[in-house]
A and B are shown apart, each in its own frame.
Chain A
Amino acid sequence: MQSFLKTGKLGPQEKPATSGSSQKKKTSVCTPWVEKYRPRTVNDVVEQGDVVEVLRQCLGGADLPNLLFYGPPGTGKTSTILAAARQLFGDIYKDRILELNASDERGIQVIRDKVKKFSQLTASSMRPDGRPCPPFKIVVLDEADSMTHAAQAALRRTMEKESKSTRFCLICNYVSRIIQPLTSRCTKFRFKALGEEKILERLQLICKEEGVNCSEEVLQLLVQTSEGDLRRAITCLQSCAKLVDKGTTVCPTDVLEVTGVVPEQWLEELVTVCRADDYARLESFVERLSCEAYAVSQLMDQLLKMIISAENISDRQKAVICEKIALCQWRVSDGASEYLELLDLGCAMAKALRS
């Protein structure tokens, strides 16, 4: 508890399962459920069979390779390594782990100084209380795909030279942004997007623990909108539970509002307007839509799904439209104006649907 107050770091996880009720009450007030229900042991990690197997063996005494975790957000990459570290090192795990993420300065200088120094320290194979523990430290580089190439290159030799005393764990969303020499030094593990039933199971568990009234329908909706991202599903569930009055049940419209999903009728109207091939109507529609403040990138995601499964559009038209969606999506995420991009997309769709 003391250390939790001091740094505000990883507090809820450290809390032993049998902590006093008074402490529990205090932390539970402001703990996001994502933190509260983070897996505490490697065995708790949902799915991700391979990596769990490797880590389990390592816990049993086998050697740990350098690791590279990659996969979509919310699949448990950070949770897994933190849980493993806690199991490996027990209460001294704070001293044995160096966690650097995108919020820390991670230029080449930091790699040269901080990481190198940390990795050169030797670790004993004993805990202070005399119990054995693995004789190495772990450097966790979270969100490694946002490191510069120069900084990544600086890691190369360090990783090899200090392999006696240090293991590295790189975590990223896109493995292609990690330079080849680093990937070849690590064992790669891909984290799959979680299956729907796994997410559902987890959500049901949380609902039961937290006493949230949630119908099956609502949970299904949450699972669908989360697209395999467990963190997103849990955050949404918590937000929904907080927004409604105490005691009432969460209804599907709440979920839609919280997740920011654009209602179907807007998408249908967009397609109808495009079919009508009338610029003035399209413009006024886009104007109305942008006043509603839905996220255009979200709209495009949904539109893409709708177009792909639409039956009255030929394959050729679909191809043209999808390409345009890709282009506009990219521009929007780059910071271009949503209004113009949507208008452009609308025009392109009208043109494609005409022929």
Chain B
Amino acid sequence: MSLWVDKHRPTSLSKLDFHKAQAKRLKNLVQQGDFPHLLVFGPSGAGKKTRVLCLLRELYGAGVERLRMENTSFTTPSNKKVELMIISSNYHMEVNPSDVNIYDRVVVQELLKTVAQTHQFDATGQREFKVIVVTSADQLTKDAQHALRRTMEKYMATCRLILVANSASKVIAPIRSRCLGVRVPAPTIEEIAAIVTGVGKKESTLVPPELAKRIAESSNRNLRLALLSLQAARVQQYPFTPDQSVPSQDWLTYLRETANMIVKEQSPQMLFQVRERLYELLTRGVPPGLIFKGLRVLVRNCYDAQLKMEVVERASMLDHRLQQGSKAIFHLEAFVAQFMSLYRRFMSKKIEML
């Protein structure tokens, strides 16, 4: 049994469910047989990857779906070997260079040059270029991004890059100016609800409209999440009832509990307990950025606008440091501690005033 997300992924540009106008333009682009480098950006679960795959299919035909995986090793200047998995078909290649952390520059340099310097043997009946899809391009280090600049221009004749990123601001300006930006906004709640119902129908599962709406709302406009929770709900209980609970991810529940603990009591002991829980989350592989985003619900629990703003200011500062630093736990803990102290000071002032 495959996941419904993958099973019902649209495979051609004309079958896409939302942003139809954009799909049409992409189609125009492909029909001319050629396109510039692309930078596809949008929040997660908005269908960036789906669009890229549709585009490739439109361009090369069904051949792009015959994928193979290979582990390629690269040698860094300091003679360290790094391994990276590359998913490729005859026509394109998909890499995530940020998997190798700071060595991504080496990967970008080596890989692009080798691919770009080889030519298709028989150009008749084929495209003259290969496509390299670079996922999470915003995670690339600045070095790697600079390395892309001139390469992108130089090898234009033999290869096209499709950069997939969550946000365009983290991609440096010189690269943005060399790419055609494709903005993929998140689908609206109504669109998600419609798709959820549609997928249900294809799986001969009847989804009550109330439930579809609630699934869509709880997904934060993330279509992938919505479909996953639909499938989870199906496993949990079927036939559906309109007031059925939408299963949420357990790490999110765990995080919410942690946030509640912080609001309930502010003391060194509690900080200690929270720290353990944060560690738990980190060791389970929840990215620190997401934990931060989860903890911001704390802000909603503040009663005072002034306090809220102060907490937001601290949060944004620490989030920045988190990106810069190496140990996530320090910054997460710092945020919790700062929040506790701010909150407590505020509360005691309130009590005094009474």
Residues of A within 8 A of B (CB): 4-5, 7-11, 27, 29-32, 34-35, 73-74, 101-105, 107, 109, 142-143, 146, 229, 231-232, 235, 238-239, 242-245, 257-260, 277-279, 283, 290-298, 328, 331-341, 343-344, 347-348, 350-351
Contacts and interface: CB of A to CB of B under 8 A. Distances in A.
Interface residues of B, number: 72
A297 B169 contact: yes
Interface string B306-350: 001100110110011011100000000000000000000000000
Contact of A340 (B116, B119, B149, B316): B316
19 contacts: A8-B156, A8-B157, A30-B129, A143-B146, A229-B177, A231-B178, A232-B177, A239-B180, A259-B181, A277-B305, A278-B305, A293-B46, A293-B185, A294-B183, A296-B167, A331-B316, A335-B324, A336-B322, A347-B312
Contact of B308 (A5, A27, A279): A279
Given A244-B25, A344-B312, A336 B177 contact: no
Given A31-B157, A229-B177, A279-B308, 12 more contacts: A10-B154, A107-B77, A232-B177, A257-B183, A292-B183, A293-B167, A293-B184, A295-B41, A347-B308, A348-B309, A350-B309, A351-B309
A342 to B, nearest CB: 9
A31, A101, A334, A340: most-surrounded residue (chain B CB, <10 A): A340
B249 interface: no
A154 to B, nearest CB: 15
B109 A104 contact: yes
B309 A143 contact: no
A101 B32 CA distance: 32
B184 A30 contact: no
B221 interface: yes
A279 B25 CA distance: 38
Interface in B132-185: 138, 143, 146-151, 153-158, 167-170, 172-174, 176-181, 183-185
Majority DSSP secondary structure for residues of A touching B: helix
A333 B324 CA distance: 12
Contacts of B146: 102-103, 143, 146
B112, B119, B149, B157: most-surrounded residue (chain A CB, <10 A): B157
A7, A279, A334: most-surrounded residue (chain B CB, <10 A): A279
Pairs A-B, 3 closest by C-beta atoms: A295-B168, A344-B316, A297-B169
Contacts of B180: 235, 239, 242, 258
Given A30-B34, A231-B177, A343-B312, A8 B320 contact: no
Majority DSSP secondary structure for residues of B touching A: helix
B181 A336 contact: no
Contacts of A331: 316, 320
A4 B185 CA distance: 39
A73 B153 CA distance: 14
Interface stretch (B59-67, B257-265, B270-278, B288-296): B288-296
B117 interface: yes
A341 B169 CA distance: 12
Contacts of A32: 36, 153, 156
B296 A340 contact: yes
Contacts of B315: 340, 344
A163 to B, nearest CB: 26
Contacts of B43: 290-291, 293
